[in-house]
Structure 1
Amino acid sequence: MSGAVPLNDPRFQTDPVELYRELRRDHGAVAPILLDGDIPAWLVIGYRELHQVTGDPALYSRDSVLWNQWDNVPDDWPLLPMIGRGETSIIHTTNGQHRERAAMISDALEAVDPFTLRQHAERLADELIDSFCADGRTDIIGRYTMLLPVRVLARLLGFTDEQGPGLVTALNEMLDGGEDALTGHGHLVEAATALLTEKADGPGADVVSRMLANRGDFTVEEITKDLLMIMVAGHQPTADWIGNTLRLMLTDDRFAASLSGGRHSVGEAMTEVLWEDTPTQNVPGRWATRDTNLGNRRIRAGDLLILGVAAANFDPQIRTDSSVLTGGNTAFFSFGHGEHRCPFPAQEIAEVIARTGIEVLLDRLPDIDLAVPGEALAQRPSPWLRGLTSLPVIFSPAPALSPARRP
């Protein structure tokens, strides 16, 4: 494709806003891109066009079998775990089967008690903070945000606390799309399969047991893939939501008050991040079921469209002045749109984990501040998710909580 930009272009991490401006200037709302191995695809960066694609599953399907580039994709392609070849997880199903599986997952997640969830999140957050609060400095990403969501999710799903670190490593390897992506994917599949076997023999009060109890005609393999989807979608975006929000609050004067006088700006900062620095940067994908036109581009049957969530959130036709706070506007695409959007119970769980993680940290370490200049902070090299590699901070050393003082 003429003028196609590689999806692994480092500017997606270093200067995405300027890159989106260039793509709009040169290509309009739908830009040609190249995936690893110079495989062509389209990046949908227009807000209205993204709304159109996600709202028309008959024309833009989630069925990856339709892709017209499979003959060019090697078996060891690093993006294969995210794109999927003949996948049967919920994110690749369509029509009635998708609705049935979505209902099974939503019902299992909806049964999570929000008060119990917050208690778990507070306790685990306090345990993590206890491990570094006396040091006066730490890397919030490596020692907090990358550990908290998966530990909470592990408890909800039925994993043991001891399995958390291995799940974090595997999730990161897969989502970063590097040479270890397939290895990370394999570890997650093994862990999910083992958990389902365990819960089939001895169900408990957890999400996986509830999924198995209401599985209908779905196979164990299908539920295993759905569990993998829950783990991937639930951990890393939430971890990056916490990290990106803390970065915003520590570097942006608009939110300085929340660090020195209460938590009134935490929710506003979390919403602002979902517009300005959303963890979900690009989402694979949709496949055209027939030849069509989109954003003045000729889309061929079987073409892959990558959903440019972050770019659409910055569409100047929607946000005419990106320097102004959105005021709680939740019309962003960070949780998707249409029948494949993130289920509402999953959104609630992610928000409780993220908000609890931020609030507990600010309560425990009220004078927390950056230990490096804001411009020194770097992003992970992932084509899909946007998150910091580290967030070095300093604070006044504080004592660890005794077990009796934890929630």
Structure 2
Amino acid sequence: MTTPEAGYDHLGGCPVHPDSSVVPLSGPRFHTDPHRLYEEMRSAHGPVVAVELAGGIPAWLVIGYRELHQVTSDPELFPRDVALWNQWPNIPPDWPLLPMVGQPMPSIYFTAGAEHRRHVAMVEPALESIDPFELRSTCENLADRMIDVFCGRGEAELVAEFAEPLPVLVMAQLMGFSEREAPELAWAMKTLADGGAQAQAAYQRFVELAHGRVHQEREHPGHNMITAMIDFPEPFSNEEYGFDVQAVLAAGHLTTADWLINSLGLMLTDERFAVAFGGGRRSVDQAMNEALWEDAPNQILAGRWASRDTRLADKVIRAGDMLLLGLGAANGDPHVRAHLGEGSDLVHAGNSAHFAFSHGEYRCPFPAQQIAEIIARTGIEVLLDRLPDIDLAVPVSGLVRRPSPFLRGMASLPVNFTPVRAVGGTP
């Protein structure tokens, strides 16, 4: 069995070797230099790569744009049905990546076919019930409150103090959670996403919070998204509602936080977006779109499972094999980039044909995309309005990424700025 670090030299080098058929899906380059790593994978193995997860668990990583489009467009051949996985006999109950890969459960994210569409029919209207103008007002108020905490210091760490708490506070409010529960939700989702030793414990706490909220809404209905789900005409069990609440929260928290921070990081490090600091809102939109192409929060998404033996590119895929969606890698496929006008000032301006929200039947629902966009854009705009001279407090080379091949975000973003008064008047 190959260890997670197998294939690396003492400098943490590339795990991709032409004479090796399996690439360990771990190591520093997945979060320090993913674009070059995917290029090397593509050169050595083609658009579909045999990889190995922690514990020696095999999977296929799809990094070709056309191949990823094929997989996500064929839910019958490649359903999101984890029950099909042929590796279940080899998966220990405490496997740290289990919360990311998933288990058979009745939710919008882990069902297939008619059952999946049944959950979509209930969840999407609840997402659509959120008024975008009220949402923006909520985001502005919460963003101002968070900025008030550090605006007088002249320095801040924007991941922990702003980007990560903002989406979870907004989502908690939309779903009727208390502000006291929001930090617990944030801890649980971040810890399970990182796939470390506490991932299983974090997942259990996440289950308790989400399902407990559904029970409380059943007993004392409010005016929030969970109530809108419960009011759907077709009956669902409390367990189903709870798992769908988990799916919406998990999909919307870190991905939105990373979209916000990756976009802001781009504006702080790329002179093409400097106009944003002079009030140019178009630059915010351009940076956010660029981030979805170049720095997508979801780099690798688990997954799809082959319903029968088939071929994909030049690889033989067996029934029950897991396919990991290389969303970030596919965005960088040279077959696509050749048509994007490489070398122009804004390569991706106006082009939203990226895989950042996946594709096909399991694509992130449009209302959820809109919610994430409002949270991220509002957070950036309020921050720039309040702290217009914000600047990096460390060299670009000192920025550290989250240690995960699945999610691409920054571990920290320290900044400096001229101290200002809080909007409430406190110095």
TM-score (norm 2): 0.93
Please give the alpha-carbon distance, in whole angstroms, between the structure 1 residues aligned to 2:41 and 2:233: 44
Equivalent in the alignment of 1:85? 103
Among 207, 211, 215, the alignment partner of 2:225 is: 207
Alpha-carbon contact 2:391-2:416 (below 8 Å) kept: yes
Give me the whole-angstrom Cα distance separating, in 1, the residues matched to 2:405 and 2:96. Answer: 11
Secondary structure in 1 matching 2:336: coil
Where does residue 317 of structure 1 map in the other structure?
Answer: 335
Q: How far apart, CA to CA, are the structure 2 residues paired with 1:33 and 1:238?
A: 27
Asked whether the 8 Å contact 1:174–1:181 carries over to 2, the reply is yes
Pick the aligned partner of 1:340 from 352, 359, 362: 362
Deviations 1:1-58 (A, max 9, x none): 9432221222110100110011100110001110110111000000010000000010
State the 1:88 CA deviation. 2.4
Distance 2:23 2:189 in 1: 26
Greater shift, 259-268 or 139-148, is seen at: 259-268
Inter-partner Cα distance in structure 1 for 2:194 and 2:22: 21
User: In 2, distance between residues paired with 1:342 and 1:375?
Assistant: 33
2:173 alignment partner in structure 1: 155
State the alpha-carbon separation in 1 of the partners of residues 343 and 395 from structure 2.
21
Choose the corresponding residue for 1:327, options 320, 332, 349: 349
Q: What residue ranges of structure 2 are gaps of 5+ in the alignment?
A: 3-19
Shift of the alpha carbon at 1:215? 6.1
List per-residue Cα deviations over 1:244-302 (Å, max 9, x = no partner): 00110000111111113432200010000000000011000000011101011111111
Contact 2:24 2:53 (8 Å CA) reproduced? yes
> CA offsets, 1:212-245, max 9 Å, x none?
1116232111111110011100111000001000
Partner of 2:32: 14
- Write the distance in 1 (CA, Å) between the matches of 2:46 and 2:65: 11
For the 8 Å contact 1:121–1:357, the answer to whether it is kept is: yes
- Within the candidate set 263, 270, 273, 1:252 is matched to 270
Matched-pair contact (CA < 8 Å) for 2:103–2:110: no
Per the alignment, residue 133 of structure 1 pairs with 151
1:256-335 matches, cutoff 5 A: 256-320=274-338, 323-324=343-344, 325-335=347-357
Q: Partners of 1:79 and 1:166 in 2: how far apart?
A: 20
Give the partner amino acid of 1:383.
Answer: P
Equivalent residue letter for 2:264 = L
Matching residue of 1:119: 137
- Give the match for residue 58 of structure 2: 40
Pairwise CA distance, 1:383: 2.5
CA contact (8 A) 1:11 1:19 kept: yes
Partners of 1:381 and 1:63 in 2: how far apart?
Answer: 27
The residue that corresponds to 2:189 in the other structure is 171
Aligned to 2:236: 218
Paired AA for residue 359 in structure 1: E
Q: Secondary structure at the match of 1:311?
A: helix
- Kindly indicate whether residue 400 of structure 2 is the aligned counterpart of residue 381 of structure 1: no
Which letter does structure 2 place at the counterpart of 1:388?
M
> Once the 2 structures are TM-superposed, how far is the Cα of residue 97 of structure 1 from its aligned partner?
1.5
From 119, 123, 127, give the equivalent of 1:109.
127
The one-letter code of the counterpart of 2:378 is: T
Q: CA deviation at 1:322?
A: 5.0
Contact 2:107–2:119, Cα closer than 8 Å, also in 1: no
C-alpha contact (below 8 Å) 1:260/1:367 kept by paired residues: no
Higher RCO (CA 8 Å, separation ≥ 6 residues): 1
Could you give the per-residue CA deviations for residues 158-186 of structure 1, whole angstroms, max 9, x where no partner exists? 10112111111111101011111111111
**Inter-partner Cα distance in structure 2 for 1:299 and 1:371:** 48
CA contact (8 A) 1:176 1:383 kept: no
Distance 1:346 1:158, change over 3 A: same
CA distance in 1, matches of 2:21, 2:396: 32
**SS in structure 2 opposite 1:40?**
strand
Classify the secondary structure of the residue corresponding to 1:334: coil
Aligned position for 1:391: 413
Counterpart contact for 1:314–1:322, Cα < 8 Å: no
Structure-1 separation of matches of 2:280 and 2:329: 32
Task: Tell me if 1:61 matches 2:83.
Answer: no
Range with greater deviation from structure 2 (318-327 or 15-24): 318-327
Q: Distance in 1 between matches of 2:405 and 2:239?
A: 28
Quick one: which of 356, 361, 371 aligns to 1:349? 371
Aligned length: 404
- Paired amino acid for 2:374: V
Cα displacement string for residues 97-129 of structure 1 (whole angstroms, at most 9, x for unaligned residues): 211210111100101011100000000000000
Distance 2:413 2:244 in 1: 32
